[in-house]
Amino acid sequence: MNFWGHLSTINHHKWLVMKHCFRVGLYKQGLLHDLSKYAPVEFYAGMKYYQGNCSPNEGERKEKGYSGAWLHHKGRNKHHMEYWLDYSKENQGKLSGVEMPIPYLAEMICDRVAASKTYLKDQYTNAAPWEYYQKNKSHYLIHPKTQELLEQLLQMLQQQGEEKTFAYLRKLVKESKK
């Protein structure tokens, strides 16, 4: 069990996400980001499976075959693409990705950047969020429009950096609220 390690990791991550969200105009989302990580089901698993260089959910999943912390987390946090799954009449009643609203997609980008910075520390580059996505995208269920924009934004981050990507995200967020 690593109480202090886990607490400092989630606090650091939340701080980075908040700063990134503020840069794109998502003040409320920045303040409220990932509060469920302090709920007992998520926090206890985080302490028990803490490694410091990756999500503790992987350790829980490895031991139990599933992660109760992740199931709790993704169902309460709209910035995760897994929150936006439903049965689709267009896809013959199969589970499919629902298009994510822009503010949650923007928070997802902020989250991915912050997670990469938190776990990679000084090994972080603007390519890291794209590389993580590329490594894992084969198992994602995501709406095609959401996927297209997500990939565009992650590539923009990789090629043009945070300043331009966050400025573009701020513009998208502002336009989505009209």
Per-residue model confidence as pLDDT tens digits over 113-140: 999 999 999 999 999 999 999 999 999 9
Domain boundaries, the chain: 3-176
Would you state the pLDDT for residue 54? Answer: 83
Would you state the pLDDT for residue 78? Answer: 98
Cα 77 to Cα 166: distance, rounded to the nearest angstrom: 21
Would you state the pLDDT for residue 90? Answer: 83
Cα 56 to Cα 77: distance, rounded to the nearest angstrom: 17
86: amino acid identity, one letter: D
Average pLDDT, the chain: 96
Would you state the pLDDT for residue 120? Answer: 95
Q: Is residue 23 a contact partner of residue 166, using CB atoms and an 8 Å limit?
A: yes
Would you state the pLDDT for residue 133? Answer: 97
Given a cut of 70, the residues of the chain with pLDDT beneath it are none
Alpha carbons within 13 angstroms on the beta-carbon side of residue 167 total 5
Would you state the pLDDT for residue 108? Answer: 98
Alpha carbons within 13 angstroms on the beta-carbon side of residue 64 total 15
pTM here? 0.95
Cα 15 to Cα 10: distance, rounded to the nearest angstrom: 8
- Strand-pair partners of 97: 85
